[in-house]
Amino acid sequence: MFGLKKVLGIVVVVISLVPIVIAEDPWIDITDVPEYGTNERLFGEVCNVEPTDYNVAVYIFVEGWWTKPYFNRPLTPIDIDGKWNCTIVTGGNDRYATKIAAYLLPAGTDPPIMNGGTVLPDIPEAVAFVQVERGPEPSFLSFAGRNWKVKSFDFPAGPGPNYFSDSENDVWVDGEGLHLTISYQDDRWYCSEVILQECLGYGIYIFQLHGRVDLIDPNMVIGLFTWDNEAPESAYRELDIEFTRWGNSDDPTNAQYVVQPWNVRTRHRFTIDLLDTDQDLTCYIIWHPNPDEPEPKRV
């Protein structure tokens, strides 16, 4: 006869609660931005990375173009406490940069060397990015039912290069329309320009001018044009109507149509001849996606 023995088993389960650590993303910041127009250094910091395993690549935006890093020192090292600093002024008009961008890059990454470009480079290796803006408060005006930025530069800037004034004494709108002037201030000649703050695309652009544009000084230029910062491969989609003799007082022509980049086929010089009794002139830019499409809408 077999006996049945009951065995009481006690199982002790120990559950160890181990905290789950979620790694935070790498991070970069600009902590001290030099005052606009000065030569002071730029300061920043990084977090959530081993500083010795990373570098910083800095770019600046001056007069519509991105430049830097320095050709001979394109990368800025990071201190062991995560802090970094560098100069963004190496000459020219660097101190007037209106945008500053910084990429956090793994060691061994070679950043693109920018020597002008309207858009920042794409750097797939970057683990973090920051961009700041600075500069004087821009001026705007309303004309033809649209918002326009008034260009202002106290240093030579394109086109030209020239100095540009946003003073209400030099650029204004009244019942007669938009007034753009050239003025002499503080031993300098200042030009004027306004820039539409929206993209209109294909269509018919109509400009109505009043004044003897046929008699302007040979060194002056009146320009009506389109421009697309995001299309450098197609000469920024620049289409021009310009009134000028380009400094040559003997030039019998005083105006031109241009499709950029210009050559003998895409530039047409001609002569405008107005009268004191009839100083009104209407100019058109008709912009098609291709010449075979029907006439586009008016803009």
Report if residue 12 sits inside a domain.
Answer: no
Q: Name which of 197, 193, 256, 206 is nearest 229 in CA terms.
A: 197
What pLDDT does 55 receive? Answer: 98
What pLDDT does 234 receive? Answer: 75
Count: domains in the chain: 2
Report if residue 21 sits inside a domain.
Answer: no
Same domain? 92 vs 215:
no
What pLDDT does 117 receive? Answer: 83
Instruction: Say whether the peptide bond before residue 69 is cis (omega within 30 degrees of 0).
Output: yes
Mean pLDDT of the chain: 89
Instruction: Name the band, by pLDDT with cuts 50, 70 and 90, for residue 293.
Output: low
* CA–CA gap between residue 161 and residue 156 (Å, rounded): 5
Same domain? 187 vs 115:
no
Q: Is the dihedral of CA 157, 40, 32, 60 positive or negative?
A: positive
Q: Has this prediction a pTM greater than 0.75?
A: no
What pLDDT does 169 receive? Answer: 97
What pLDDT does 193 receive? Answer: 98
Same domain? 165 vs 126:
no
CATH of residue 31's domain is 2.60.40
- Here the tokens at position 33 are 């931005």
What pLDDT does 186 receive? Answer: 93
Residues 118-152 pLDDT 10s = 889 999 999 999 999 999 889 999 999 999 999 99
Give the number of other Cβ atoms within 10 Å of residue 218's Cβ: 14
What pLDDT does 257 receive? Answer: 96
Residues 183-220 pLDDT 10s = 999 999 999 999 999 999 999 999 999 999 999 999 99
Same domain? 184 vs 94:
no
Q: Which of 133, 154, 172 is the last residue of a domain?
A: 133
Report if residue 17 sits inside a domain.
Answer: no
β-bridge pairing 188-191 and 162-164? parallel
Same domain? 148 vs 163:
yes
What pLDDT does 231 receive? Answer: 77
Beta-carbon-side half-sphere exposure of residue 44 (alpha carbons within 13 Å) = 29
Report if residue 293 sits inside a domain.
Answer: no
Q: Which of 86, 112, 133 is the last residue of a domain?
A: 133
> Residue 114 in contact with residue 67, Cβ under 8 Å?
yes
Residue 182's domain comprises 139-287
What pLDDT does 229 receive? Answer: 77
Instruction: Name the band, by pLDDT with cuts 50, 70 and 90, for residue 295.
Output: low
Report if residue 8 sits inside a domain.
Answer: no
Instruction: Name the band, by pLDDT with cuts 50, 70 and 90, for residue 296.
Output: low
Residues 92-122 pLDDT 10s = 889 999 999 999 999 999 999 998 888 899 9
Is the model's pLDDT at 7 over the cut of 50?
A: no
* CA–CA gap between residue 24 and residue 46 (Å, rounded): 12
